[in-house]
Amino acid sequence: MNFFARWLLAAVALWLTTELYGGLSFAQPGVAPVLIAGLVLGLVNAVVRPVMVFLTLPLTILTMGLFLLVVNALALYIVAALTPLQIASFGAAIIGALILSIISAVLSAVLTDKS
């Protein structure tokens, strides 16, 4: 997928996550905060998250991959620090990261399905 499609996918997934789960919300209503948060989420996932995954690889291996939920929650906290996204607590960030991952995977599979 191209950059624009990935950006929209991240924004829609983030919006759906905030609609389905009350632990994440936007401080401002409208489309602009969602698009900005989607862009920042895409940049964080492309630049910062791989570094965090590499640095926490021993813990990730020790926990059989479960520590990646913490890494994803930290990525959401970075997005929240830079955008109008609000996170209720660290537990809410972990649950939100899990929901966001599932929604992103489903949307990506639906959009890239060529059959």
Within 10 A of 57 (CB to CB), how many other CB atoms are there?
Answer: 11
**pLDDT tens digits, the chain, 115 residues: what are they?**
688 888 899 999 999 999 999 999 999 888 999 999 999 999 998 899 999 999 999 999 999 999 999 999 999 999 999 999 999 999 999 999 999 999 999 998 888 876 5
pLDDT at 115: 53
pLDDT at 112: 81
φ/ψ (deg, to 5) at 6: -65, -40
pLDDT at 110: 87
Q: Which domain holds residue 22?
A: 3-112
Cα–Cα distance, 14 to 41 (Å, whole number)? 9
Residues in the chain, total: 115
Could you say which DSSP state residue 45 is in? I
Our count of domains for the chain comes to 1
Return the SS3 of 86.
strand
pTM: predicted TM-score of the whole model, two decimal places? 0.87
Q: Are 49 and 71 in contact (CB under 8 A)?
A: yes
Residues 6+ apart with CB under 8 A from 83: 33, 36, 37, 40
